[in-house]
Amino acid sequence: MLLRLPGVYPPQEDTWLLADALAAERLGRDSRVLDLCTGTGALSLRAAAIGARYVTAVDISRRAVVTTQLNAILHRHSIRVIQGDLTTPVQDQRFDVVISNPPYVPAHDDVLPTRGVERAWDAGVDGRVLLDRICTHAPRVLAESGVLLIAQSVLSGIEKTQSMLEEQGLSVEVVARAEIPFGRVLSARAALFEARGLIAPGQRTEEIVVLRAAKPSLDKEVM
């Protein structure tokens, strides 16, 4: 069971797709996991449940932070929860696994909401404002041989995520895919997406993917 304050993103298909990808990772005994954009903390809880020793959860929303703290207590897991902007509060730390299900829905404009539940999904015209920042900054907090797992829609361009991460020396692959029907938010934007050529006329499903980006070990970097 998960508690959830009003305005906090309810875990859904993208959350669970990422949770399954996380469960496929081999976490060492002292593994450090960073959950960027934690929401209810569902992914942090999963990380702790499968053996991560140090779990850090970051979200910009105060309600999400309080929700995650409550869920950590409820599930008796020790999770460090920080209110902040992506990797900014942890930029001098290193993690073995970084997981993120960030806002990635293409919006009407590039002005990001500063409050309300829309902050959980609106991500600028191309849906990439948060994704691009994560692609730039997450590799810097990855430990040697660390892994970034990131969920997004194909509507916000998986090729760009892949190329940005590869440019930083990471090996990238898509490890999970799911075709899901449009919910309320995407249904309301279907005409906009059709006009932009993001979806075919009448299309009312989107594909969600999880990308896995692995940082090489120092040995391999030297070679």
Residues that bind ligand SAM (CB under 6 A): 9, 11, 15, 37-40, 42-43, 58-61, 64, 85-86, 101-103, 119-121, 130
Q: Which is nearer to ligand SAM, 31 or 68 (CB)?
A: 68
Q: Which is nearer to ligand SAM, 138 or 172 (CB)?
A: 138
Q: Which is nearer to ligand SAM, 30 or 109 (CB)?
A: 109
Q: Which is nearer to ligand SAM, 11 or 139 (CB)?
A: 11
Tokens of 101: 């299900």
Distance CA 217, CA 125 (A): 36
Tokens of 65: 């932070």
- Determine contact, residues 23/116, Cβ cutoff 8 Å: no
Q: Which is nearer to ligand SAM, 109 or 219 (CB)?
A: 109
- At closest approach, how far in Å is the CB of 95 from ligand SAM? 15
Q: List the one residue out of 156, 203, 210 whose CA is nearest residue 181.
A: 203
Q: Which residue is nearest to ligand SAM (CB)?
A: 39
First CA to last CA across the chain, in angstroms? 47
- At closest approach, how far in Å is the CB of 120 from ligand SAM? 4
- Determine contact, residues 79/124, Cβ cutoff 8 Å: no
Angle at 14 between CA 58 and CA 162, to 5 degrees: 80
Token pair 């600028």 is found at: 124
Token pair 């309300």 is found at: 116
- At closest approach, how far in Å is the CB of 222 from ligand SAM? 34
- At closest approach, how far in Å is the CB of 64 from ligand SAM? 4
- At closest approach, how far in Å is the CB of 110 from ligand SAM? 14
